[in-house]
Structure 1
Amino acid sequence: MIKVLLFAHLQEKLGKDQLDIETNQIKISELKHKLKDQYYLNELDGVMTAINEEYATDEDVVKSGDTVAFIPPVSGG
């Protein structure tokens, strides 16, 4: 199982701050596609991704037991 953490507008859109995804291994790009299809989170294209608190790319692989965080861009002044 992979724990997915959501922040800011992603969290608001889904109504929760985390999801548990049943899979043993998946690329970040595939995980994003799965979440877009299942939860309509099309905003995942413009977010930073971290695996176990280290920044990751769409080609990185997530394994069971990992935590993935999707972090939207921050703005403000």
Structure 2
Amino acid sequence: MRLLYFAWVKEKVGHAAEDVEVPGDVATVAELIAWLKTRGPEFAHAFERAEVIRAAVDQTHARHDAKIGDAQEIAFFPPVTGG
């Protein structure tokens, strides 16, 4: 699965993208975030306020309870503001 990180999530993780083998018991965006937080201090720091991080599964905005299934790409980014 391809993971993409944007804005301050990218800065805290230290890279913009990576390909990972997600454990079989990770079924939702929230579970993916929880797993990512175990991968090192940079991930724990990037996702410490997971409730504010937005996700897109295969380029479609998704809630944290969304199933990831056979997704090819999941992106993480902070809330977007603007006008």
Does the TM-score normalized on the shorter chain lie above 0.5? yes
Partner Cα distance (2:64, 2:53) in 1:
11
1:1-77 aligned at under 5 Å gives the runs 2-23=1-22, 26-38=27-39, 39-40=43-44, 41=46, 42-75=48-81
What secondary structure does 1:61 align onto? coil
Range moving further from structure 2, 53-62 or 15-24: 15-24
Sort the Cα spacing of 1:19 and 1:45 in 2 relative to 1 into closer, same or farther, 3 A. farther
Q: Where do 4+ consecutive residues of structure 1 move more than 4 Å?
A: none
Q: How much has 1:15 moved relative to structure 2? A: 1.3
- Percentage of matched positions with identical amino acids: 28
Aligned-residue CA RMSD in angstroms? 2.0
* TM-score between the two structures when normalised by the length of structure 2: 0.74
Sort the Cα spacing of 1:57 and 1:65 in 2 relative to 1 into closer, same or farther, 3 A. closer
Q: Please list every run of 5 or more consecutive structure 1 residues that lacks an aligned counterpart in the other structure.
A: none
Q: Output the amino acid matched with 1:34.
A: W
Q: Please list every run of 5 or more consecutive structure 2 residues that lacks an aligned counterpart in the other structure.
A: none
* TM-score between the two structures when normalised by the length of structure 1: 0.79
- Structure showing the higher strand proportion among its residues: 1
